[in-house]
Amino acid sequence: MSELPAWAALPAAILLIVAGVLAAVGAFGLLRLPDFLTRMHPPAMGSTLGTGCVLLASILVSSAIAGRPVVHAVVITLFIVITAPVTAMLLARAAVYRSERRARER
């Protein structure tokens, strides 16, 4: 890993640190916030921006190793960006439906 050129190692390191901080802060918010609908928001920060940062760092490092552009990590980014809103919307609908049903039964 130490034979990487500096133009790849320095941005990759910064991106990895940013992604780690985002993911940790998002999970901390998931643990600390009071309500389910507010609890849904912080992990999305880590799962979209954090994933983007990690995959950009992965593209940088593997391109610097191979000596040519290696962009196969874009697939995971596209997949996460497409699927994160779907799961968020389904979970929010399930939460609203369940709280309404509980209020109706009371």
Partner 1 sequence: MNALLPFAVTFASLCFALAMLLAAARLFKGPAAQDRVLALDVMYINGMLLLLVLGIRSLSSAYFDMALLIALFGFVSTVALAKFLLRGEVIEP
Q: How far is 95 from 84, CA to CA, in rounded Å? A: 16
Q: Which of 7, 65, 71, 100 binds partner 1 (CB under 8 A)?
A: 65
Written as six digits, the tokens of 54 are 């990690």
Which residue blocks in the chain are alpha helix, DSSP H?
A: 6-32, 36-39, 41-45, 51-66, 74-105
Within 7-26, the residues that bind partner 1 by CB under 8 A are 9-10, 12-14, 16-17, 19-21, 23-24, 26
Element (H, E) at 49: none
Q: How far is the CB of 104 from partner 1 (least distance, A)?
A: 15
Q: How far is 66 from 39, CA to CA, in rounded Å? A: 41
Phi-psi region of 67 (alpha: psi -120 to 50; beta: other; left: phi over 0): left
Q: How far is the CB of 31 from partner 1 (least distance, A)?
A: 5
Instruction: Say whether residue 95 binds partner 1 (CB under 8 A).
Output: yes
- Residues at the contact surface with partner 1, assessed by CB under 8 A: 1-2, 4, 6, 9-10, 12-14, 16-17, 19-21, 23-24, 26-28, 30-31, 36, 39-40, 43, 46-47, 50-51, 54-55, 57-58, 61-62, 65, 72-73, 75-76, 79-80, 83, 86-87, 90-91, 93-95, 97-98
